[in-house]
Structure 1
Amino acid sequence: MTFKPAEWPRKLRSQEWYGGTSRDHIYHRGWMKNQGHPHDLFDGRPVIGILNTWSELTPCNGHLRELAEKVKAGVWEAGGFPLEVPVFSASENTYRPTAMMYRNLAAMTVEETMRAQPIDGVVLMVGCDKTTPSLIMGAASTDLPSIVVTGGPMLNGWFRGERVGAGTHLWRFSEAVKAGEMTQDDFIEAEAAVTRSSGTCNTMGTASSMASMTEALGMALSGNAAIPAVDSRRRVMAQMTGRRIVQMVKDDLKPSDIMTRQAFENAIRVNGAIGGSTNAVVHLLAMAGRAGVELTLDDWDRLGRDVPTIVNLQPSGKYLMEEFYYAGGLPVVLKCLGEAGKLHKEALTVSGGSIWDEVKDAQNWNEDVIRPVDRPLTKSGGIAVLRGNLAPLGAVLKPSAATPALMTHTGRAVVFEDIDDYKAQINDDALDVDETCILVLKMCGPRGYPGMPEVGNMGLPPKVLKKGIKDMIRISDARMSGTAYGTVILHTTPEAALGGPLAVVRNHDTITVDVPNRSLTLNISDAELAARIEALKPADLAPAGGYGLLFHDHVLGADTGADFDFLVGCRGNDVPKDSH
């Protein structure tokens, strides 16, 4: 029996490898046949690469092997030829010094994998924080038909009758132990209750935020973001995604058709509405850079400022991702934004239709989980971008997770020169600090750490926690986990390692934070600030070699997405020369 390929509007890219009788074509086909593939699979079917970030050392993605089989089933059903390809997987839980250092490496490997192999379209299988942006960045740079399927969030955590969120309650319980409100044994017992199934964090942390960003951008099928990892409907979504990519190849529907300026504006507004992670800022800036879309921190502030946070999820609110899905998930949020005039309804999605066509009939099944726009969790959500002499290129804060009383505040700086200095001092009762102070952490930006770790949500001093204080202003050039909370100012640029003003803050300086007016000010004269910067002796942070040196030499600032300077933009998918 011979397979009769469908009529395709153009020659498939994979046929450059497989479609002929030359020695080179036979070489490429012949080696593939040692896996038992019939000859006619190479004679016209689109080859679909299933780029899988499964790894046993990436716990969030540990179930993606099973999910890939459902994607394959969908590809086969639609007349495609699915081939699973493992790609670089940076785990937030295990990678040192930080997974963020390897996001760009992962994106680079994905880009080269797509360009150098006989692939007509790809399904991007992602989950853990950095896997989502890295694969989308690589896909944007090659611009082959691409669609995302995420692994989904884990089930709700419960501990002694309390709903507990992965990540969020790690921070809360850790602080409770330091405050003497929880024993270490109780903390260990809670550990198993917090992460009790396959999947990503069950809060609106970075993984769920990026899954939502992907759906809002139109790069995943409608409803993909919130389905729990172990729900059978997640497997259905994977199979439907496999079917859809084959048609996308036929239609030549590419990331450049979908990831437009309108799509990114939709995503920014959605991030405000869901109380999404500050990490979405650096990731979307990097993704936009790959797609050739001009996007800045000012866009984040302008577009998010008047967006209410309507999703009542931890860390900003009460519930977890299971409830979000049961309430209707992201389609309900998109519909609410559309009805409020805050959505580009005509933006194209991987479905081939507009985003509004996908969500206009969505229903809200729980208005305490997804609040009406006129009864939000936070009236003005989004991401606040602060500027001033302490952050000339900007710093970010998540209002929905902050303490309202601290949004306008002047306090004395308590300075930690780097993360080791912080660890050495923070638990010392002799530390000169009280709840009115502002904690300042330096040397944790992209070059300084290196990699820009999630340490910006510094734990508070025990002497303050024991007073019952739960929040203080914290300022750094670091990131924080999307599961974290508090009045935390992040991504301060230029970073300290590059001689930014953050580097010259001293103990007993005062800092004024004015979020309503978007300002961040070190209260010293311009002349004093200039003199301190002039006197700085920059540290030599360049590693001896390897990827660390590449990172050090080429990483851009957080204000533009912390991508590599030589990776910005789309380089296309022209078939490399055949050396055989």
Structure 2
Amino acid sequence: MKPGHLAGEDLTVVSAFEAVGQYSAGRIDDVRLLAVERHACPGAGSCGGMYTANTMSSAFEAMGMSLIYSSTMAAEDAEKADSTEQSALALVSAIRKQILPRQILTRQAFENAIAVIMAVGGSTNAVLHLLAIADAAGVPLALDDFETIRARVPVLCDLKPSGRYVATDLHQAGGIPQVMKMLLVHGCLHGEALTITGQTIAEVLANIPDTPRPDQDVIRPWNHPLYPQGHLAILRGNLATEGAVAKITGVKKPQITGPARVFESEESCLEAILAGKIQAGDVIVIRYEGPKGGPGMREMLAPTSAIIGAGLGDAVGLITDGRFSGGTYGMVVGHVAPEAAVGGTIALIHEGDSITIDAPARLLQLNISDAELEQRRSVWQPPAPQYTRGVLAKYARLVSSSSIGAVTDHD
């Protein structure tokens, strides 16, 4: 989606969510709120920043499953129609040549996708989705692989939600192929990986410049990245023995220790934020929103955007066993596993408990003794399931931990 414009500012759908928080905190009036709402989404297409849809389309371009440049084209531009025609021709050719998805979706392809997602500052949801896709494709992939690749790939693109630019700006600056070529040149991409056209990644990128154009600053030069390492970190500790996912770039204070403010649902948390009941230094806990507890692992865009809108983005932490929108940023940690619904430590937090989020140390910790934790665990009882029959009840019974992709056909 092309960005909306208001008073010289680029808007996306997240702008509308944040405006609700700004309005509730008295930072804008109803005239401004209505104006943002009316201008945020000017036409067709997926959310305008490097949010989940654009992150995943970029990932598939990186994996060779779609044609180059296709993931950052504006939905309403003529080149999208041309790309659609070219995509159909490529698909027919792949069928004739019997180039099959599992030949493209190799371990190398997934590593390429992760590298590109780190470089563009993509969504936390990419972790969940790529784990699930790899599982379906029979490719071994684990949470720690994201941490390994994060350590060697810088953030090269200054994109929303925490940056300045939108996806169409990235397209004009050279798109995903420019980012991929830089990664390839610097040894962070597997050039021999196959693509849907039958060419290798290196062959597809042969005519792309090694360096970004100097007349733009959406894509940074390799020696002047936005951040020296990737932005999606895997946190562990007694609150996430199976792991949790955090965006650690774009936050002024990557560590926080504060009192827990515990909520059993997204709605109850949002109500408290909009009522001004959250204070600087708090660590918000939203639980029973995981794969089984949701069921379905909802994204917490409304409360996280309200926090940003209220001016608390750098002053509070938030952890959840649910997901985040790709538009979320701030000191937030999601995909906490084991989730509350199966008795994970997040279910045992009491209001006011001390919690530490330490992004540089990759730590997510409930600061109570092991003895106290075990005592709480011994008396914990799972809540009654929200659904006892039908599709959602079946899903809740079958779904696995988010740490392995929340898949429903695992042994």
Q: TM-score normalized by structure 1?
A: 0.67
User: For the Cα contact (< 8 Å) 1:417–1:443, is it kept in 2?
Assistant: yes
The answer to whether residue 356 in structure 2 is matched with residue 512 in structure 1 is: yes
Matches within 5 A, 1:537-556: 537-541=381-385, 543-556=387-400
Give the match for residue 425 of structure 1.
272
Q: Secondary structure in 2 aligned to 1:335?
A: helix
- Give distance in 1, aligned partners of 2:122 and 2:366: 28
Give the match for residue 396 of structure 1.
245
Q: Secondary structure in 2 aligned to 1:225?
A: helix
Q: Secondary structure in 1 aligned to 2:355?
A: strand
Q: Secondary structure in 2 aligned to 1:458?
A: helix
Give the match for residue 527 of structure 1.
371
Tell me the amino acid that sits aligned with residue 300 of structure 2. Answer: V
**Residues 530 and 398 (structure 1), Cα distance of their counterparts in 2 relative to 1, 3 Å cut:** same
**Residues 180 and 389 (structure 1), Cα distance of their counterparts in 2 relative to 1, 3 Å cut:** same
**Residues 460 and 290 (structure 1), Cα distance of their counterparts in 2 relative to 1, 3 Å cut:** closer
Give the match for residue 342 of structure 1.
188
The structure 1 residue matched to 2:23, chosen from 162, 177, 195, is: 177
User: For the Cα contact (< 8 Å) 1:271–1:382, is it kept in 2?
Assistant: no
Could you report, residue by residue, the CA deviation over 1:484-543 in whole angstroms, capped at 9, with x for unpaired residues?
211110000010011100001112211122211211111111111111111101112162
Shift of 1:395: 0.5
Matches within 5 A, 1:180-219: 180-219=26-65
Per mean C-alpha deviation after superposition, the further-off stretch among 330-339 and 446-455 is: 446-455
Give the match for residue 412 of structure 1.
259
Give the match for residue 470 of structure 1.
313
Tell me the amino acid that sits aligned with residue 343 of structure 2. Answer: G
Tell me the amino acid that sits aligned with residue 247 of structure 1. Answer: S
The structure 1 residue matched to 2:290, chosen from 426, 436, 445, is: 445
The structure 1 residue matched to 2:236, chosen from 375, 387, 409, is: 387
Q: Which runs of 5+ in 2 are unaligned?
A: none
**Residues 329 and 504 (structure 1), Cα distance of their counterparts in 2 relative to 1, 3 Å cut:** same
- Give distance in 1, aligned partners of 2:115 and 2:247: 13
User: For the Cα contact (< 8 Å) 2:264–2:287, is it kept in 1?
Assistant: yes
The answer to whether residue 8 in structure 2 is matched with residue 161 in structure 1 is: yes
Give the match for residue 315 of structure 1.
161
- Give distance in 2, aligned partners of 1:461 and 1:243: 45
Q: Which runs of 5+ in 1 are unaligned?
A: 1-153, 569-580
Percent identity of equivalent pairs:
37
User: For the Cα contact (< 8 Å) 2:128–2:402, is it kept in 1?
Assistant: yes
Matches within 5 A, 1:212-231: 212-231=58-77
Q: Secondary structure in 2 aligned to 1:198?
A: coil
- Give distance in 2, aligned partners of 1:252 and 1:452: 36
> Larger Cα Rg: Structure 1 or Structure 2?
1
**Residues 457 and 300 (structure 1), Cα distance of their counterparts in 2 relative to 1, 3 Å cut:** farther
Could you report, residue by residue, the CA deviation over 1:241-280 in whole angstroms, capped at 9, with x for unpaired residues?
1111121112110011100000000111111000000011
The structure 2 residue matched to 1:501, chosen from 338, 345, 357, is: 345
- Give distance in 2, aligned partners of 1:184 and 1:532: 46
Q: Secondary structure in 1 aligned to 2:70?
A: coil
Could you report, residue by residue, the CA deviation over 1:355-387 in whole angstroms, capped at 9, with x for unpaired residues?
111123224344401111211122222410000
Q: Secondary structure in 2 aligned to 1:209?
A: helix
Shift of 1:465: 7.0
Give the match for residue 134 of structure 2.
288
Q: Which of the pair has the greater relative contact order for Cα pairs under 8 Å at 6+ separation?
A: 2
**Residues 163 and 292 (structure 1), Cα distance of their counterparts in 2 relative to 1, 3 Å cut:** same
Q: CA RMSD in A?
A: 1.9
Shift of 1:408: 2.1
Give the match for residue 484 of structure 1.
328
Pairs aligned (count): 407
User: For the Cα contact (< 8 Å) 1:301–1:382, is it kept in 2?
Assistant: no
The structure 2 residue matched to 1:371, chosen from 213, 217, 220, is: 220
